[in-house]
């Protein structure tokens, strides 16, 4: 059984948090399974209601006359006993009833039960739930499995992972045998991705064709949700936008051009579609910044962006079997730029980073920039042998326009450092995580006599 990082946070909530818990994210990421497993392992009694498969529960919520009425009706509906101050009530697929947001405060204030909510952001109705009153709802976002979670299926000893982490931290070369094995695993991740059902198909069959079938089924579910939850005039636009992402990523600059959807189409006309796909978790926008300064957000150009898929396995499935075979054979001649940037963006988003790319007319373009700690960290992603050719990165680091202290280049090669640039194997994206920054404020300094 694969363990998910988010399960530590869910377990922590079960132990001592009085707020309601909302676990949200892209469809098929494993939200329901992880919540169930944590509840089972905790030994706390729980009752689960699914608002899609149990329409009677949906009717109870819609037609109730307050908290007492909800609890009475649910206790009559379920075969399990609702024990005050013990039972946790789990509502799944809550995007079917966004009005549950208005109930959160009353349910939590009542205090007899605790509540965990789960839903797919496909439908974006769930956004209203996240705006519940402060102090009444804890939210956790779930992504497909990241690379560190994925490698569990290979039963790699923890000592090996610790060794790799030390190599990352100390900038020491990885043993060649371990390095090659990790590249093999990384390539499998490109083929399979992080969707639990696709991983399970691979574990049971070792058949990439069946994994591709699973990816296609998930994509079909996404598109069904596009038509189910979005307004009539936007349904086709969402599908067209989603379908265009792999093509746009395969271009040299990987930028999403609005005119490729329709000539003379303006960004303002389609902005909602991009926001919808982002909030639904099926696409990851990476916006342009022209200044590599903190905070990056204030330099964001909302109409200039790259749009990545949230799961690299589904991207390589869309590109086709020939691409998968070249990846499997570790063919260095294949153009994997789009795939590599997608997987790195996916990994960084799962680790909590907001991703941007840097583009300046004078200095050039850097694939990704993030805020790590209190510094800007530029990132270059290389899939070929010329991983030390990066003029735009050099311009940014050494032209005097910024005070950036270091940069990272991810490639297929081993650990190395030259000046401000760290060269890291692509699989070490799993170690790039946000630093804990201590903010030490001397309160006395701000006190007045």
Parallel, antiparallel, or unpaired for β 137-142 and 20-25? parallel
What is the structure's pLDDT at 107? 93
pLDDT digits (tens, 9 = 90+) for 306-354: 999 999 999 999 999 999 988 888 776 566 789 999 999 999 999 999 9
- The SS3 of residue 439 is coil
CA distance linking residue 284 with residue 309, whole number of Å: 6
**Tokens 């650990």 label which residue?**
415
Do 154 and 38 contact (CB within 8 A), yes or no?
no
**pTM score, two decimals?**
0.90
What is the structure's pLDDT at 276? 81
Domain locations along the chain: 6-142, 147-431
CA distance linking residue 439 with residue 95, whole number of Å: 38
**Which of 145-159, 182-196, 259-273, 372-386 is predicted least confidently?**
259-273
pLDDT digits (tens, 9 = 90+) for 74-129: 999 999 999 999 999 999 998 888 788 778 889 999 999 999 999 886 545 555 66
Per-residue tokens: 402? 């910024």
- CATH number among 3.40.50.10480, 2.100.10.30, 3.40.228.10, 3.40.50.12060, domain 6-142: 3.40.50.12060
Radius of gyration of the chain (CA): 23
User: Where does residue 152 rank: exposed (0-12), middle (13-18), buried (19+ CB within 10 A)?
Assistant: middle
CA distance linking residue 231 with residue 248, whole number of Å: 25
Mutual angle of helices 176-192 and 337-350, in 10-degree steps: 90
Per-residue tokens: 24? 């949200």
Q: What is the DSSP string of 282-312?
A: SEEEEEEESS--SSGGGGEEEEEEEEEES-H
**Phi, psi dihedral angles at 257 (to 5 degrees):** -100, 120
In percent, the amount of the chain with pLDDT more than 90 equals 62
Stretch (H or E) spanning 31: helix 31-42
């Amino acid at each position: 059984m694969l363990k998910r990082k988010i399960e530590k946070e869910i377990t922590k909530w079960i132990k001592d948090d009085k707020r309601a818990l909302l676990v949200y994210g892209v469809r098929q990421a494993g939200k329901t399974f992880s919540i169930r497993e944590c509840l089972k392992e905790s030994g706390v009694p729980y009752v689960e209601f699914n608002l899609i498969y149990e329409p009677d529960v949906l009717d109870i919520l819609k037609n109730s006359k307050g908290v007492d009425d909800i609890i009475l009706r649910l206790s009559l509906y379920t075969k399990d006993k609702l024990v005050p101050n013990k039972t946790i009530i789990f509502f799944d697929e809550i995007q079917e009833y966004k009005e549950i947001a208005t109930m959160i405060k009353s349910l939590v204030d009542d205090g007899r039960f605790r509540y965990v909510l789960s839903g797919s952001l496909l439908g974006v109705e769930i956004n209203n739930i996240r705006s519940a009153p402060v102090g009444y709802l804890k939210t956790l976002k779930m992504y497909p499995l990241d690379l560190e979670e994925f490698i569990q299926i290979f039963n790699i000893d923890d000592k090996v992972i610790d060794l790799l982490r030390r190599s990352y931290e100390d900038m020491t070369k990885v043993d060649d045998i371990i390095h090659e094995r990790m590249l093999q695993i990384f390539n499998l991740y490109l083929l399979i991705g992080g969707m639990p059902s696709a991983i399970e198909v691979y574990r049971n069959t070792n058949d990439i064709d069946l994994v591709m079938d699973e990816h296609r089924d998930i994509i079909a579910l996404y598109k069904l949700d596009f038509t189910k939850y979005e307004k009539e005039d936007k349904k086709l636009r969402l599908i067209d936008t989603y379908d265009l992402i792999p093509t746009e990523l395969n271009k040299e600059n990987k930028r999403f051009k609005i005119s490729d959807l329709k000539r003379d189409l303006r960004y303002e006309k389609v902005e909602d579609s991009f926001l919808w796909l982002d909030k639904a978790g099926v696409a990851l926008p990476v916006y342009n910044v022209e200044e590599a300064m903190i905070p990056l957000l204030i330099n964001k150009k909302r109409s200039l962006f790259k749009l990545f898929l949230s799961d690299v396995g589904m991207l390589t499935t869309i590109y086709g079997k020939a691409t998968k075979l070249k990846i499997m054979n570790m063919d260095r001649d294949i153009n994997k730029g789009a795939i590599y940037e997608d997987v790195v963006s996916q990994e960084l988003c799962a680790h909590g980073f907001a991703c941007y790319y840097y583009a300046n007319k004078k200095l050039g373009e850097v694939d990704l920039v993030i805020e790590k700690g209190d510094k800007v960290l530029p990132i270059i992603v290389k899939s070929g042998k010329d991983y030390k050719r990066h003029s735009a990165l050099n311009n940014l680091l050494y032209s005097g326009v910024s005070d950036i202290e270091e940069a990272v280049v991810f490639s297929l090669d081993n650990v190395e450092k030259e000046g401000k640039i760290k060269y890291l194997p692509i699989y070490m994206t799993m170690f790039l995580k946000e630093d804990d920054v201590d903010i030490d404020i001397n309160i006395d300094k701000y006190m007045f006599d």
